Amino acid sequence: MKKEVYIGTYSNDENSGIFRLNVNTKTGEMDGLTQITKTLNPSYIVMNKEKKLVYSVLKDGDDGGVCASEITNNTVIPFSKILSGGHLPCYINIDKNKSFLFSANYGTGVIKIYSLGEKGELTGITAERDHNDLGLGKTHPHYIGLTPDEKYLFVVDLGLDMIILYNYSEGKLGEIFQKVLFKKGCGPRHMVFDNDGKYAYLITEYSTEIVTMRYSEAEGLEITDYISALGDGFDNEGDGSAIRLSGDGTRLFSSSRKPGTVSMFEINKETKKPVLLDTLESGGEHPRDINIDEDGKILMVRQYRNALERYTLEIPAGALDEEGEPGFKCAARELEEETGYKSEELEWLITLRTTVAFCNEKIEVYVAKNLIPSKQHLDEDEFIDLKAYSLDELKEKIFTGEIEDAKTVASLMAYAVKYEA
């Protein structure tokens, strides 16, 4: 199965721009590296997959800002940008509803919030703050994002050795809620929250450490632990760069530029602290960022169907709550109710008309990616058994007759055509 991967770059020559790469998720082989747009130093990008948009850092002469581009066929076409008066962002992020874009400017210490229109276009700047005005020293914001409950905007400031939490609401910033101070000179860089939103993990650039923090809406962030991000044989001056959490929340990954390594940790279920499993060479030089591909298995439900008087194996599904409810909202709700997982990445796959000869029933099918553990919400008399299968296993079950449900057969075959290599 192949996936398209989009990559930002950090270069001032003709190779600067956004590239696309095909990755075979079964073998790890990569091919088709193609420069699909030329922009200067789009070092970080963020996607809106539903609208097929990519947002990137933008450099335009001596000015900088952010840019929105549309993904069409074999290229990316910029269609909206906002320059920010000399402030060149080094990192951008987006909220869950894809309504606001957040940028951190390492060089000048400024953070900004941009509003997004119905088509995903940049429509204006709704808030900004200059960390120089804090009077705390040389500021270098390197990461920005919202807490899982979206109560606060947090800024990881590498220069100040600090995380600053601002009160946040719908693109607007309030007063500073909290300042979290780290060890002097460690250089906090990037961070990630766990799936429950109760713990966060941060990598430091200068000391190359992983910092564990506890989070609550009332108290904000509290540092609970520091550990080395590198295994034996490496010193702690490794230029820590990126940190990621696996979809199931059990594994933590970090990268370090100077030794060119990637480390893997197991998250202790009781203490929530990471335990180093291994540090490996990345296969390249100065890994600036990393990402994770999950195992690609498909979650299926087994439930009793009265009409057939037997159990069937199907994709999760359910009915609209009311006429006119958007299909993706129904899909998100039914996914969580039946499987106990949720997803922030729902992508339309196909629309089915089940029996056009005598009924107008319509079924919209979505692919839910990067599942996040949540909780099932079943009726008292409802029982659903969950199991994950590879696509090859499910195709075999179709052709042996074990899977007969029409929507499931059509959806799986459409998925195979669209995503399988």
Sequential DSSP letters for 154-190:
EEEETTTTEEEEEEEETTEEEEEEEEEE-STT--EEE
Instruction: Give the C-alpha separation, 298 to 316, whole Å.
Output: 11
Q: Respond yes or no: is residue 380 known to be catalytic.
A: yes
Instruction: Give the C-alpha separation, 140 to 204, whole Å.
Output: 13
Q: Please report the sign of the dihedral spanned by the C-alpha atoms of residue 172, residue 142, residue 123, residue 56.
A: negative
**Residue pair 230/259 in contact by the 8 Å Cβ criterion:** yes
| Phi, psi (deg, nearest 5) at residue 326 | -60, 140
Distances 194 to 37, 167, 265, 303 between C-alpha atoms, Å: 34, 21, 13, 31
Instruction: Give the C-alpha separation, 219 to 223, whole Å.
Output: 12
Q: Please report the sign of the dihedral spanned by the C-alpha atoms of residue 52, residue 57, residue 59, residue 62.
A: positive
Catalytic residue of the set 323, 347, 380, 393 = 380
Which distant-in-sequence residues (6+ apart) come within 8 Å of 94 by Cβ?
A: 46, 48, 55, 100, 101, 102
Instruction: Take residue 41 and report the two structure tokens written for it.
Output: 């130093």
Distances 16 to 4, 11, 43, 132, 368 between C-alpha atoms, Å: 19, 5, 9, 30, 32
Which residues have a catalytic role annotated?
Answer: 380
